[in-house]
């Protein structure tokens, strides 16, 4: 999945958008690397982690906002459609954007793993490539399975997604570089895993 080999997409972006528009609100669909993906619903701990992160970001940088559920046009030629768990942007950035916004202006995307067998393939491998090729400065992966926080930075539009990846175990402090330059204390995340 992390190589440069191109696969034939399952459908066109237009076909995907028609399917996604017709899906019930309880189903979140994504289109990553030419594949239709069903995003698992969030549990209470998942939502709590995002709420904690949002409060922390807003305390440090009140001019920013952490949007949840905003769709992004991702990948090198914007042929993918992703719904990160959260997107950090300047306040009001997504006003007048539709369901699928361009990634320009996004400072960081956040994913919190769900207890799902597709997590490894999609969240740990497919999405870092898609987000990095889109030029999003930081991808923050809160991995509840591995009990780690991985900070991907320095996007690489060519192959790997991001040139730098720093992982820390829950309980350690981790620096989120770039536009944020904040330190996250991950101790509280230990309370939100199975």
Residue 95, in any domain of the structure: yes
33 pLDDT above the threshold of 70: yes
pLDDT (average), residues 90-112 = 92
For residue 27, being part of any structural domain is answered with yes
pLDDT score, position 1: 42
CA distance 125 to 65: 26
Is 8 within the bounds of a domain?
Answer: no
State the residue for tokens 């690397």.
33
Strand partners, 167: 150
* Residue 2 falls inside a structural domain: no
Concatenated DSSP letters for 155-188?
Answer: EETTTTEEEEEEEEEBTBEEEETTTT-EEEE-GG
Q: Is residue 4 part of a domain?
A: no
Domain count, the chain: 1
Within a domain: residue 93?
A: yes
3 within some domain:
no
1 lies in some domain: no
| 49-70 average pLDDT score | 91
Q: How confident is the model at residue 82 (pLDDT cuts 50, 70, 90)?
A: very high
Burial label, 58 (beta-carbon count in 10 A; 0-12, 13-18, 19+)? middle
Statement: residue 110 has pLDDT above 50:
yes
With pLDDT > 70 as the criterion, what percentage of the chain qualifies?
95
Q: What kind and span of H or E run contains 71? A: strand 71-74
178 pLDDT tier (thresholds 50, 70, 90): confident
**CATH number of the structural domain spanning residue 103:** 3.90.1570.10
Range of the structural domain that residue 138 is part of: 13-192
pLDDT higher than threshold 80 for residue 12: yes
């Amino acid at each position: 999945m992390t190589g440069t080999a191109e696969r034939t997409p399952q459908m066109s972006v237009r076909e995907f958008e028609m399917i996604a528009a017709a899906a019930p609100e309880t189903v979140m669909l994504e289109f990553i690397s030419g594949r239709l993906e069903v995003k698992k619903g969030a549990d209470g701990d998942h939502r709590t982690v995002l709420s904690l992160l949002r409060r922390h970001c807003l305390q440090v940088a009140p001019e920013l906002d952490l949007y949840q559920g905003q769709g992004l046009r991702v990948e090198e030629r914007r042929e993918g459609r992703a719904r990160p768990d959260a997107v950090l942007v300047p306040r009001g950035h997504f006003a007048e954007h539709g369901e699928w916004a361009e990634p320009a202006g996004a400072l960081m995307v956040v994913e919190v793993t769900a207890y799902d067998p597709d997590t490894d393939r999609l969240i740990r491998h497919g999405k870092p490539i898609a987000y990095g090729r889109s030029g999003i400065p930081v991808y923050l992966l809160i991995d509840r399975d591995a009990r780690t926080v991985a900070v991907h930075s320095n996007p690489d539009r060519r192959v790997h997604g991001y040139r730098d990846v720093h992982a820390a175990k829950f309980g350690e402090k981790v620096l989120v570089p770039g536009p944020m330059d904040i330190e996250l204390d991950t101790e509280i995340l230990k309370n939100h895993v199975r």
